[in-house]
Structure 1
Amino acid sequence: MRAWRQCATLWGIDDLVAAADFLLTDAHPRVEVEELRAEIERMGDTAGRALARALAQSRRGPRSPAETRLRLVLARNGLPAPEISWVLRDARGAFVAELDLAYPDWRIAAEYDGRVHAEDVRQFARDADRWDAIRACGWQHVRILAHHMRENGQPAVRKVREALRRAGWRG
């Protein structure tokens, strides 16, 4: 908690949001949002209120900084707020997958696929089967890779926006 506050003079806002997401996410979070607010009140914020701004954008649920960055870039570009770490179940109610970012109303799963998934052959095989299972439930699966996050994430935004429009979103 104190380290998060101290990093505010060195890190950009997205890194501070990702760090707060990490602290707040888990079955047993490392800290509660009230504790982070109290730390800001007790020790003060930075110029530009970076900590308060980061905390306002933070959410429980992301499993990685890349997922946080994807969520932030989608929001900054006018896309609807997704559900985070959303559990997809099939028609019988059986677990299919935990989705990084989900738009249940449009049946869209937007997921950041990191390099580790491609480098581990067994993990990649499990992932490929998982993607098929997601599509079998009638969902579009939008796979975001590192190169989609270049150019301020515009390729990722285009991919998710196009999927939402195909599904009927008119934002």
Structure 2
Amino acid sequence: MDSAPFVGSEALANGLVTRQQLRGHFRRIYRDVYIDPDSELDAPTRARAAWLYSHGNAVVSGLSAAALHGSKWISGDDDAELLWAEHRKKFDGLRIGFDELLPQEVETVDGLAVTTAARTAYDLGRRRPFGTAVARLDALVRATGVGVHDIARLAENHRGARGIVQLRAVLAVVDAGAESPQETRTRLALLNAGLPRPQTQIEVVGPDGRVFARIDIGWARWKVAVEYDGEQHWSDERQRAWDIERQHLLESLGWTVIRVSAMQLRTDPWGVSARVRDALRAAGAKV
């Protein structure tokens, strides 16, 4: 990550800017940490701003660490997160934790002290609501390749920590195949309904021997596919045309395709699961 054009007390002390210029021409992120107003304040940039605020004394953690490790779906509007034992003050836009942190749970990313991918997953899996925690870990595991066993092994070093029971439940359903939080929520809705654990990103080969489709969620054994329709499936005319052709090809190969929208998932997850259950039964699955 390229360093953002931050300006702070050091520039002020060295006479590079005046206090009036600092307040009038730069955007304040944290105390003594300002940024060029034309710069994008994404999650990695906010993480760096928080670390600069700590004068390098803190360790970037939580969502901020996940963003630095390459996780998607993290907004720059989310609070930055640090582990900083010496600091007890609260600050808007910044969450500071004081949990035990072992030396092997810290690494350097783009010059910043950051919790390792496994430690980051450990923190996120304990502290968020269950569904959100699974979505965050799906994204982190996908971005970093950190193994579920690595996270579980790290947790063994913190027995008795708050949230460990939830973390174990989260790790039991994490899947790096999820390409978006909505795909994670779709998968969890199916699992909550008692359906068999589905596969993710199933490659389907056409009559010519080439892979022509990857199914978001499904069961290859019974040829039942569940596809989440994001906004691009409706707003992009070419994408929509391909979706129609793709579904026709899948059905010609014996697949049953069930499409799920955000509204259906939000308002009637049990109805979605019932449709999928019916399709699995029709295909011979004992559910």
TM-score range relative to shorter protein: 0.7 to 0.9
Matches within 5 A, 1:147-162: 147-151=263-267, 153-162=269-278
Q: Does the 8 Å contact 1:8/1:46 carry over to 2?
A: no
2:226 to 110, 114, 129: 110
Matches within 5 A, 1:1-171: 1=117, 2-8=119-125, 10-25=127-142, 29-42=144-157, 45-47=161-163, 49-151=165-267, 153-171=269-287
Q: Distance in 1 between matches of 2:167 and 2:211?
A: 37
CA offset at residue 122 of structure 1? 2.1
Greater fraction of residues in helix: 1
With normalisation by structure 2, the TM-score equals: 0.53
- SS of the residue corresponding to residue 172 of structure 2 reads helix
Cα RMSD (Å) of the superposition?
2.3
Structure 2, unpaired ranges of 5+: 1-116
Q: Can you list the C-alpha shifts for 1:124-155, whole angstroms capped at 9, x where unaligned?
A: 22222221221121211110111221346112
CA offset at residue 54 of structure 1? 0.9
How many residue pairs get matched? 169
| Range 59-68 or range 146-155, more displaced | 146-155
The structure with more radius of gyration: 2
Structure 1, unpaired ranges of 5+: none
With normalisation by structure 1, the TM-score equals: 0.84
CA offset at residue 48 of structure 1? 6.0
CA offset at residue 95 of structure 1? 0.9
Q: Distance in 1 between matches of 2:268 and 2:129?
A: 14
Runs of 4+ in 1 over 6 A off after TM superposition: none
Which has the higher relative contact order, 1 or 2, with Cα contacts under 8 A spaced 6 or more apart? 1
Q: Distance in 2 between matches of 1:170 and 1:52?
A: 28
- Residues 115 and 5 (structure 1), Cα distance of their counterparts in 2 relative to 1, 3 Å cut: same
Identity %: 31
